[in-house]
Amino acid sequence: MNQVAKMAGVSEMTVSRVLRNVGSASPATRARVETAVRQTGYVHNRLAGSLATARSGLVGVILPSMANSVFSEVMGGINSTLARSGLQAVVGVTDYDQTTEEALVRSMLSWKPEALIVTGLEHTNEARRMLDAAAIRVIEMMDIDHPPIDIAIGLSHRAAGSETGRYLFERGYRRFGYVGDDLRKDTRARSRREGLTEFLRAVGLPPAVEIAEAEPSSLHLGKRALARLLARHPEVDVVVFSNDDMAAGGLFYCMEHSIDVPGQLGLFGFNGLEIGQAFPKPLSTIRTNRQKMGALAMEQLMISAARPNEPTVIDTGFELVPGATA
Amino acid sequence: MNQVAKMAGVSEMTVSRVLRNVGSASPATRARVETAVRQTGYVHNRLAGSLATARSGLVGVILPSMANSVFSEVMGGINSTLARSGLQAVVGVTDYDQTTEEALVRSMLSWKPEALIVTGLEHTNEARRMLDAAAIRVIEMMDIDHPPIDIAIGLSHRAAGSETGRYLFERGYRRFGYVGDDLRKDTRARSRREGLTEFLRAVGLPPAVEIAEAEPSSLHLGKRALARLLARHPEVDVVVFSNDDMAAGGLFYCMEHSIDVPGQLGLFGFNGLEIGQAFPKPLSTIRTNRQKMGALAMEQLMISAARPNEPTVIDTGFELVPGATA
DNA sequence: CTGTTAGCGCGTTCAA
DNA sequence: TTGAACGCGCTAACAG
């Protein structure tokens, strides 16, 4: 900036003002500064700028995974709103591990972000303490089944699980099976399964017979797990999957093995991904609004930069999509 | 840090050293500092640290889209390697727009990143100038069909398109159709189509009849576009899709309309996504290695932080997966 | 093993 | 409309 100032024959302060479009500068000096910037190839240093203003314009985003399209969609929602506000995202991936999350929270906070967006409401004590102590907005996305630190945006997975049970029960299904991915890690899938189990108990049915593989969810896992479930429990008349990827795998399995869906076996997913709705028989599932979560999160940040005394909970809800598989 | 230093009865410098684990400190002072850090809830300020050391530990990543799983997979590859090196990703999304990319490049450079990872080899002149002038490593991912600024990691989409043509020609297909998404934006899909067209010309066949919709690729778009193509050109015996999402949509369409694949109509995709391989008849496609691109990119950064005189081109290749649809 | 000095590149504040 | 002085919070370099 010093160089630019010299070349333009002004002070650094004037250069700074011209570049940020604040205060006022005569058209003549403005032009000279702009020429000098171009000639020197000057690149603004936001590290120094942020240090001086104590405003980084950064937002930390901590996600469990990039492979799962659910999170990349949320990230998409965040990013599109972010860009308009002149903020930038710093991204971290936890791989569903709370210790990794804690390290990422610490690391992110050291960049003095304007806000931090994390996934879910379960964190290590230390992570919770840091988030609580940070004088910034903290948004916990995807889930609203527990009290948030500051703002929670998402849906009740417990309610979604229970609603799934109610719908299938009303359709006449009685012998429930459940196919899940790694439930130790995917706490929201676990909540949904608990909601389902609770409903079944309430109507006097036994809990769903279950296969849960210790792997991240995928189409192939859904296929394989359904095969195992049916081998062990041929009596089930409906299978609830932990999500649409798994369910789509199950649907492919049924196609390959000529299992009549939903006549012989009902299938039910979660998320409302495009893939489920592209099948000749669209998947029965629950649709959640990921884009909206991301956008709403940013909206909350715009409303107030300071954290109020009371936490905020925003329920983005869910919609049961009857489909044609259950 | 001042506070911490006072509470521990040492200088700021000692605190700094203890926190960064550099130099040496007696166990006693180390303990006192650590206690003070815990009691004050001190959070390191990397803005200041980076300014002082002139090393940000940031890597800028600029992607066309988050919705497309191809890019989130690349991002996954980058992130997993990144984390191990103590670097952090700052992410920007261009929505396939070069002007947006230029703005993002400028913005990213102002954070003084250690490296910048962008997608593809086509940029605005100004973006290219900035990338060229920045004294950091610049990685252009996904494509190697043009000379890179510094490092290109990816595959020749032209070769992939041409190989697709060769394979289908050898299988006996002669009347080619093509179904694409927005080719003005997706320059790599365009390269593949050009490679295909070139091959067809070389063997004396007419170019593929084509439907290209001005929308981002999706399963539904694939369905719709195939319907339109077949309505207009019922004579085609094979359809090449711009990618696996589109092709999967086409495959669903054929299932719904009882079109025998590959007997009556061949279908061919690109990417080797899981969805294509989950069908009862796995999709014939070309598999690319996205994770590997991300990981290799980071590896290159580790090898040398300085940009050599000669650009580097790393071909991650592709693999034709015969599948069962063409 | 520990402290002192100086400066990273900006923006705020005040004065002209 | 412009400039000078100062400080943001940290660390490199040197000294002890």
Q: In a structure prediction context, what are the per-residue pLDDT tens digits for chain B, which is 326 residues long? A: 999 999 999 999 999 999 999 988 899 999 999 999 999 999 999 999 999 999 999 999 999 998 888 998 888 889 888 888 889 999 999 989 999 999 999 999 999 999 999 999 999 999 999 999 998 999 999 999 999 999 999 999 999 999 999 999 999 999 999 999 887 888 999 999 999 999 999 999 999 999 999 888 899 999 999 999 999 999 999 999 999 999 999 999 999 999 999 999 999 999 999 999 999 999 999 999 998 898 898 889 888 888 999 999 999 999 999 999 99
Residues of A in contact with B111 (CB under 8 A): 46-47, 88
Nucleotide C11 C1' to residue A98 CA (A): 38
Is residue B284 located within the same domain as residue B184?
yes
Q: Letter for the amino acid at A107? A: S
Return the H-helix or E-strand segment holding A312: strand A312-315
Minimum-distance nucleotide, CA of A53 to C1':
C11
Yes or no, beta carbons of B223 and A65 under 8 Å apart? no
pLDDT for B97 equals 92
Task: State percent of chain A over pLDDT 70.
Answer: 100
Is residue A94 located within the same domain as residue A166?
no
Is residue B191 located within the same domain as residue B312?
no
Q: Pick from A5, A296, A272, A276: which is nearest to A144 by CA?
A: A296
Residues of A in contact with B67 (CB under 8 A): 72-73, 76
pLDDT for A303 equals 87
Yes or no, beta carbons of B89 and A91 under 8 Å apart? yes
Nearest 5°: phi and psi at A148? -85, 165
Neighbours of A196 (CB within 10 A): 25
Nucleotide D2 C1' to residue A21 CA (A): 15
pLDDT for A216 equals 86
Is there a domain that residue B50 lies in?
A: no
DSSP B284: B
Query: Best of B275, B283, B293, B298 to disrupt the A interface by mutation (most A CBs within 10 Å)?
Result: B275
In chain A, the number of structural domains is: 3
Residues of A in contact with B112 (CB under 8 A): 45-47
B33 inside 8 A of chain A by CB: no
Q: Is the pLDDT of residue A295 over 90?
A: no
Interatomic CA distance for residues A211 and A227, integer angstroms: 10
Give the residue carrying structure tokens 């102590």: A133
Is residue A151 located within the same domain as residue A294?
yes
Specify which residue's alpha carbon is closest to the C1' of nucleotide C1: B25
CA-CA distances (angstroms) from residue B187 to B63, B75, B79?
14, 19, 25
Yes or no, beta carbons of A45 and B112 under 8 Å apart? yes
Contact (Cβ atoms closer than 8 angstroms) between residue B171 and residue B205: no
Yes or no, beta carbons of B219 and A275 under 8 Å apart? yes
CATH number of A91's domain: 3.40.50.2300
Question: Long-range contact list for B184-191, CB < 8 A, 24+ apart?
Answer: B184/B214, B185/B64, B185/B96, B185/B97, B186/B96, B186/B217, B186/B242, B187/B120, B187/B122, B187/B143, B188/B120, B188/B142, B188/B143, B188/B157, B189/B157, B189/B242, B189/B243, B189/B270, B191/B143, B191/B145, B191/B156, B191/B157, B191/B158, B191/B161
B40 inside 8 A of chain A by CB: no
Interatomic CA distance for residues B323 and B326, integer angstroms: 7
Contact (Cβ atoms closer than 8 angstroms) between residue B179 and residue B240: yes
Is residue B35 located within the same domain as residue B76?
no
**Enclosing domain of residue A120:** 58-155+290-318
Any atom of strand C under 7 A from CB of B80?
no
DSSP A40: H
Extract the runs of DSSP E, i.e. beta strands, from B15-171. 58-63, 88-93, 115-119, 137-143, 151-155
Yes or no, beta carbons of A110 and B44 under 8 Å apart? yes
Any atom of strand D under 7 A from CB of A17?
yes
B65 inside 8 A of chain A by CB: yes
Q: Letter for the amino acid at A119? A: T
Is there a domain that residue A52 lies in?
A: no
Give the closest of A44, A91, A111 to B110, CB-based: A44
Is there a domain that residue A45 lies in?
A: no
CA-CA distances (angstroms) from residue A187 to A98, A146, A211?
11, 12, 16
Interatomic CA distance for residues B291 and B151, integer angstroms: 17
Interatomic CA distance for residues A81 and A307, integer angstroms: 20
Nearest residue on chain A to B64, alpha-carbon basis:
A76
Yes or no, beta carbons of B274 and A133 under 8 Å apart? no
Is there a domain that residue A35 lies in?
A: yes
Contact (Cβ atoms closer than 8 angstroms) between residue A295 and residue A80: yes
Query: Best of B82, B93, B99, B251 to disrupt the A interface by mutation (most A CBs within 10 Å)?
Result: B93
Q: Is the pLDDT of residue A23 over 90?
A: no
pLDDT for A291 equals 84
Is there a domain that residue B45 lies in?
A: no
CA-CA distances (angstroms) from residue B158 to A77, A253, B126, B171, B197?
33, 36, 26, 20, 10
Nearest 5°: phi and psi at A133? -75, -30
Yes or no, beta carbons of B43 and A72 under 8 Å apart? no
Nucleotides of D under 7 A from a protein CB: 1-5, 7-13
Is residue A211 located within the same domain as residue A303?
no
Q: Is the pLDDT of residue A183 over 80?
A: no
Give the residue carrying structure tokens 């079944």: A200
Any atom of strand D under 7 A from CB of B324?
no
Tokens standing for residue A87: 């903020």
Yes or no, beta carbons of B90 and A91 under 8 Å apart? yes
Is residue B147 located within the same domain as residue B171?
no
Model confidence at A185, pLDDT cuts 50, 70, 90, reads confident
Interatomic CA distance for residues A149 and A135, integer angstroms: 12
Is there a domain that residue A240 lies in?
A: yes
Give alpha helix (H) positions in B95-234: 98-109, 125-133, 157-170, 187-202, 219-232
CA-CA distances (angstroms) from residue B171 to B186, B225, B236?
28, 24, 14
DSSP B197-242: HHHHHHTTPPPPEEEE-SS---HHHHHHHHHHHHHH-TT-SEEEES
Strand A266-268 vs strand A115-119: parallel, antiparallel, or unpaired? unpaired
Strand A319-321 vs strand A312-315: parallel, antiparallel, or unpaired? unpaired
CA-CA distances (angstroms) from residue B75 to A93, A316, B114, B316?
10, 27, 17, 16
Q: Over the stretch A135-179, which tens digit does the pLDDT of each residue have?
A: 899 999 999 999 999 999 999 999 999 999 999 999 999 999 999
Residue range A217-245: average pLDDT?
Answer: 96
Yes or no, beta carbons of A79 and B91 under 8 Å apart? yes
Helix axes A69-84, B69-84, angle to 10 degrees: 90
Nucleotide C13 C1' to residue A290 CA (A): 45
Q: Is the pLDDT of residue A86 over 90?
A: no
Is residue B132 located within the same domain as residue B162?
no
Residue range A72-81: average pLDDT?
Answer: 88
Nucleotides of C under 7 A from a protein CB: 1-5, 7-13
Give the residue carrying structure tokens 């040398």: B304
pLDDT for B186 equals 87
Is residue B218 located within the same domain as residue B304?
no
Task: State percent of chain A over pLDDT 90.
Answer: 82
pLDDT for A57 equals 94
Give the closest of A43, A72, A109 to B110, CB-based: A43
Q: Pick from B220, B236, B257, B245: which is nearest to B168 by CA?
A: B236
Is there a domain that residue A308 lies in?
A: yes
Contact (Cβ atoms closer than 8 angstroms) between residue B12 and residue B49: no
Interatomic CA distance for residues B276 and B282, integer angstroms: 6
Is residue A135 located within the same domain as residue A173?
no
Residue range A48-76: average pLDDT?
Answer: 92
A57 inside 8 A of chain B by CB: no
Is residue B272 located within the same domain as residue B165?
yes
Nucleotide D11 C1' to residue A54 CA (A): 19
Residues of B in contact with A76 (CB under 8 A): 65-67, 93
Interatomic CA distance for residues B150 and B314, integer angstroms: 11
Is there a domain that residue B324 lies in?
A: no
A92 inside 8 A of chain B by CB: yes
Tokens standing for residue B188: 């790599």
Contact (Cβ atoms closer than 8 angstroms) between residue A275 and residue A269: no
Neighbours of A20 (CB within 10 A): 10
Is residue B93 located within the same domain as residue B176?
no
